[in-house]
């Protein structure tokens, strides 16, 4: 009974962290994105310093939440597969590192814009190009870039495969997660070779984002299936 209560707490923690990792991403982006995507990045970034820093701090909660999800789930997932459970933790840590790198890029944009506005120099076009590269959605280091998305997808496949195999949650949830992750991964590869319209990309990405929230709510309100936990024990 005490062990089941402990696993219940792990499920709730993972669910809350899933929501933080997703919700805080959109909240933080709402503060810094307008300035970093403005036509004149040099001026807008310097003028919106406080908003950018606040947005990055909010989004940093995502960086912390991402690996903590895997750590919260590890005591249960290791009963399914130690190798996959460790792999899931490793890939979520790698994902968080890439995410942290993109935050550093944004802080670098802010620092460059402030330095330029304090002492304007020539070749502003070259500087603008550098800032665009650091903040661009297609940048390899960004959270919308292919490296981040492939790492994210591999982690989600590991998690949902373990959930499918163990039946810790209903298979319609884990099956939905695996199918959506495969589509997301295919999209991350396709964009390396050809342009994909934003509206098409959003339609392909949304199912996995929704599945994450459904999984999070299931963890919080239902927890792990007790029969499945009994089999694993």
Burial class (CB within 10 angstroms; exposed 0-12, middle 13-18, buried 19+) of 133: middle
Domains: count for the chain: 1
Domain holding 46, by residue range, is 2-232
Average pLDDT of the chain to the nearest whole number: 87
The two structure tokens encoding residue 171: 């298979």
Q: In this predicted structure, what is the pLDDT of residue 144? A: 67
69 versus 148: which is more confidently predicted? 69
117 versus 76: which is more confidently predicted? 76
* pLDDT tens digits, 20-43: 998 888 898 889 888 887 777 778
* Residue 138 neighbours by CB distance under 10 Å: 12
């Amino acid at each position: 009974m005490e062990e089941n209560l402990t696993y219940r707490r792990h499920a709730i923690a993972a669910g809350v962290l899933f929501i933080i990792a997703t919700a805080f991403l959109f909240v933080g982006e709402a503060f810094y994105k307008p300035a970093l995507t403005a036509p004149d990045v040099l001026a807008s970034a310097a003028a919106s310093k406080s908003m950018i820093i606040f947005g990055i701090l909010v989004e940093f909660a995502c960086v912390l939440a991402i690996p903590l999800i895997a750590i919260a789930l590890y005591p249960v997932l290791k009963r399914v597969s130690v190798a996959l459970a460790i792999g899931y933790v490793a890939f979520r840590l790698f994902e968080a590192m890439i995410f942290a790198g993109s935050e550093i890029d944004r802080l670098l944009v802010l620092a460059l814009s402030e330095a330029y506005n304090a002492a304007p120099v020539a070749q502003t076009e070259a500087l603008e190009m550098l800032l665009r590269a650091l903040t661009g959605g297609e940048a390899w280091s960004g959270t919308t870039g292919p490296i981040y998305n492939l790492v994210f997808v591999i982690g989600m496949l590991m998690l949902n495969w373990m959930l499918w195999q163990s039946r810790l949650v209903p298979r319609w949830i884990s099956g939905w997660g695996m199918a959506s992750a495969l589509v997301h991964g295919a999209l991350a590869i396709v964009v390396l070779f050809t342009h994909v319209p934003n509206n098409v990309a959003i339609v392909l990405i949304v199912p996995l984002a929704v599945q994450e929230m459904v999984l999070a709510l299931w963890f919080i309100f239902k927890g792990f299936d007790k029969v499945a936990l009994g089999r694993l024990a």
